[in-house]
Amino acid sequence: MKIALYARVSTEDQATEGYSLEAQLEMLRAYVDNPDNDNETHTIFKEYVDEGFSGRNVQRPAYAEMMSHIREWDAIAVVKMDRIHRNSRNFMAMMDILQKNNKEFISITDMLETKTAMGAFFLDIIQRIAQLESDLIGERTYFAMEEKAKTSKGEIMGFTTPFGYAVHKGQLVTRDEELDIVKDIFKNYASGMTMDEICYDLNRKGTLTRKQNPWNKFNLRNILHNPIYAGYMRWDGIYIHHNASCAVTENEFNNVQLLMVSKVRDPSKRRTSLIKDAQCLPTVV
């Protein structure tokens, strides 16, 4: 079995835990040289060393190099699990890669080898903990965003600033030239022009998107569906009023939504999101 030895230390680790790089490598070499390794012959493929990097940082040069050589070795060995990752989610992401490539993981002081039944059980527990951690973070993030939405003073909610607007001191401000284009898009669609015709007209005039791309039905549909052009930022069903200029009125926006859904052939897919039906919150002042 060809084993990749991995050692990592940060300045803080070395000061508080005493795991120097050389001490780690000596322990790992001794493990490989142990003749009682399940009657298997172990050889060192290569030693990978990251010095001065946190275990929470996945952008480590030696770690990245080791993972790029994954087809060439059979297992990773570390002194302790936290030498390779201090975050359970990052650890499980690595384990997913190892399992897909039929590679093993060994932590010698934790007495963990993934090929054993106890090792597989231990990994299952870690995976469940990582999932719980992820779910809890998701819940906290959701509730924090919901509270921010409900107490918003018109600040943006973390999304990409849409065409027609910019952000100044956390508030939406108008980009007049772009917003005039948006006004024409809504006006032309409401008058009966198809999306293809509107895209053709915009591209023929040399009008480009914010990212300097030609217009297509996908980015045009995003414009027509976005209530921000009628005065509302949308977050998870909550509509928050903003103070920037609008391209259309609420009624004009709702009429465009109804027009768009009327062109959907499958009745089961005819879903609208109208401002008049939404939970709309006024700007808090």
Where in the sequence numbering do the catalytic residues fall?
10
Tokens in use for 160?
């990409």
Tokens in use for 99?
């399992």
Q: Cα–Cα distances in Å, from 4 out to 59, 107, 188, 227?
A: 18, 12, 63, 54
Tokens in use for 211?
């990212």
Rounded CA-CA distance 267/252 in Å is 23
DSSP state for residue 79 in the 8-state scheme: S
- Choose among 119, 54, 67: nearest CA to 93: 67
Q: Are 217 and 196 in contact (CB under 8 A)?
A: yes
Q: Where are the beta strands (DSSP E) in 150-191?
A: 165-168, 171-174
